[in-house]
Amino acid sequence: MYADAAAIELVSRYVVEPYQPDPPDPPAQLLSAPSHDPRIMELTERCRSFLDLPENWNSYRSKRIDETLLKDGLRLLSMVLTPRARTPTVVPTARGGLQIEWHAPDHDLEIEVHGLGHYRVFHRRDDVEPEEFDVFDNVSAIIPLVRSFPA
């Protein structure tokens, strides 16, 4: 009798509560609110693909990409990417961050998201000395550099 009860309990457990696979993770919300700028949406989609990169994606022991750094990079872009500025290229970094780049034959601007609110900026023009500096939260120093790459 005991065996029957145990069998019934076992069967009922799986009949009443059949196995349900875990639901897939929802797509990461990289933007706090949808952007009206199609360029930002396009860059967001590219950044979303970075989240699928496995460890060692660069074959030199790179880390997986940190979602919080992606969000911070996109937040920065939505603040500095004015309508008249050129759309940049975004690339993942081996340390799991994000780098935003504008290039012209005689002009380069690179912004690396080092940490939340911490950006390393490199700017080079043929006619001036290259400059490299850190920005913490206050992005006003970046905006004129971005505007110097017209669309």
Partner 1 sequence: MGEEVENPVPAEARLWRRVPEWHWVPDGAGGIRPSSAAFKDDPDDSPMSATVAAESTIARTLDPVRNHESAFAVAEFPAATARDQGQRVERKPIPNEPAHVFVVGPKPKRVVRELARMSVWAWPPPGRPYPEHDTPQDQRVSDNARPAVSEPTQLAAAGRAAVPWVWFVWVTSVCLLGLVAAWLLFF
Exposure string of 64-76, with b = 16+ CB inside 10 Å and e = fewer, is ebbbebbbbbbbb
- Nearest approach in angstroms of CB 65 to partner 1 is 10
Contacting range for partner 1; rule: CB under 8 A; set: 9-17, 35-43, 67-75, 87-95: 87-95
Q: Which is nearer to partner 1, 37 or 101 (CB)?
A: 101
| Unique residue bearing structure tokens 């380069």 | 108
Selection from 88, 130, 89, 84 nearest residue 106 by Cα: 130
- Nearest approach in angstroms of CB 30 to partner 1 is 17
Asked if 93 touches partner 1 (CB under 8 A), the answer is yes
Q: Which is nearer to partner 1, 69 or 96 (CB)?
A: 96
User: Cα separation of 137 and 52, whole Å?
Assistant: 28
User: Cα separation of 45 and 68, whole Å?
Assistant: 15
When binding is defined by CB under 8 A, the residue of 45, 89, 116, 151 that contacts partner 1 is 89
Instruction: Give the x-and-dash track for 94-133 against partner 1 (CB under 8 A).
Output: xxx--x-xxxxx-xx-x-x-------x-x-x-----x-x-
26 token code pair: 């929802």
36 token code pair: 């009206």
Name the residues that contact partner 1, by CB under 8 A: 50, 53, 57-63, 89, 91-96, 99, 101-105, 107-108, 110, 112, 120, 122, 124, 130, 132
